[in-house]
Chain A
Amino acid sequence: EVQLVETGGGLVQPGRSLKLSCVASGFTFSSYWMYWIRQAPGKGLEWVSSINTDGGSTYYPDSVKGRFTISRDNAENTVYLQMNSLRSEDTATYYCAKDQARSGRVYPFAYWGQGTLVTVSS
C-alpha cells in the first residue's frame, strides 16, 4: 500500500526557514517524480515543486522560486522541501504527492499524503 507521510510543519516567524520531509513507502520510490502541493487555509490548491527521479531536475512556480528547494534521498525514500525567507502568504497545509504509472498510463497525483501545516506568523 502506498503511503506518504509528511512531517516538519509548525509555527515559524516571517523570514525564517523550515524543512519539510515526506517519507514514502509501498512503491519503488526511485522510479517516481515527486511533488509538493500546498493549500492555504480555506483556499484552493497550488502546485509548489516537482523533482525528477534522480533529483537532477527540479521545478517551481514563480511564487516560491529562489526561496524553496526540493530534494530527495532515494536511499531513505524521502523527499524534502527546504523553505527559506518564509512569508505570511506561505501559510498552508503542504501535501506530498506522486503519480501512479501502470501499463503505460500515468495517473497524475494519484496519491497524496495527509499534509503538514506550516504557519508563518510573528
Chain B
Amino acid sequence: DVVLTQTPVSLLISLGGQASISCRSSQSLVHSNGNTYLHWYLQKPGQSPQLLIYQVSNRFSGIPDRFSGSGSGTDFTLKISRVEPEDLGVYYCLQRTHNPFTFGSGTKLEIK
C-alpha cells in the first residue's frame, strides 16, 4: 500500500502568517493516464473533512487563493498564506492513484 508521510505533525502559526505542510509518498503518484491524484482536505473541529485542493494544485470551489498546492511524483506541499482563525483544524493529504486509497496521518494547525 502507498504510505503518505505528512510533516509536521502540528503547526503553531500566528494570524497572518504562513503555514507549509509536506506530504511525501512511498511511491510515485503519477497515474498511468498521466494525472496525479493527490488531494488535500481540512477537518475543522467537530466537522466532517472538506476538500481544499484536488490533483495537486487545483483549488476546489469556494476555497480562497490563500491555499495553494504544489509538487510532483512523490513530494507534495500545501501552503496556507495569511492564516486566518477559520483555518485551524487538521489537514490531510489523500492519494487516489493507487488502490487502496490512503490518507496521510494529518497535520494539526493551531493559531497563536
| A residues at B contact (CB < 8 Å) | 44-47, 50, 59-62, 95, 106-110, 112-115
**Is chain B's interface secondary structure helix, strand, loop, or mixed overall?**
loop
Q: Known contacts A108-B37, A109-B49: does B100 contact A61 (CB below 8 Å)?
A: yes
Among A60, A95, A107, A114, the residue within 8 A (CB) of B51 is A107
| B residues at A contact (CB < 8 Å) | 1, 37, 39, 41, 43, 48-51, 54, 60-61, 90, 92, 94, 96, 99-106
Bound-state CA distance A50–B92 (Å) is 19
A-B contact count (CB 8 A): 52
Question: With a CB–CB cut-off of 8 A, which chain A residues contact B50?
Answer: 112
A76 to chain B, nearest CB (A): 23
A93 to chain B, nearest CB (A): 9
Question: With a CB–CB cut-off of 8 A, which chain A residues contact B41?
Answer: 45, 109
Question: With a CB–CB cut-off of 8 A, which chain B residues contact A95?
Answer: 48-49
Q: Are A108 and B94 in contact (CB under 8 A)?
A: yes
Q: Which residue of B lies closest to A65 (CB)?
A: B100
Q: Known contacts A108-B39, A108-B94, A109-B94: does B54 contact A47 (CB below 8 Å)?
A: no
Some 27 contacts from A to B, beta carbons below 8 A apart, are A44-B92, A44-B103, A44-B104, A44-B106, A45-B41, A45-B49, A45-B106, A47-B101, A60-B100, A61-B1, A62-B1, A62-B100, A95-B48, A106-B54, A107-B51, A107-B60, A108-B51, A108-B54, A108-B96, A109-B39, A109-B51, A110-B51, A110-B60, A112-B50, A113-B48, A114-B48, A115-B48
Question: With a CB–CB cut-off of 8 A, which chain A residues contact B101?
Answer: 47, 50
Bound-state CA distance A95–B99 (Å) is 19
Q: Are A112 and B103 in contact (CB under 8 A)?
A: no
Bound-state CA distance A14–B19 (Å) is 42
Question: With a CB–CB cut-off of 8 A, which chain A residues contact B102?
Answer: 47
B34 to chain A, nearest CB (A): 15
Q: Are B37 and A59 in contact (CB under 8 A)?
A: no
Q: Known contacts A61-B1, A115-B48: does B54 contact A107 (CB below 8 Å)?
A: yes
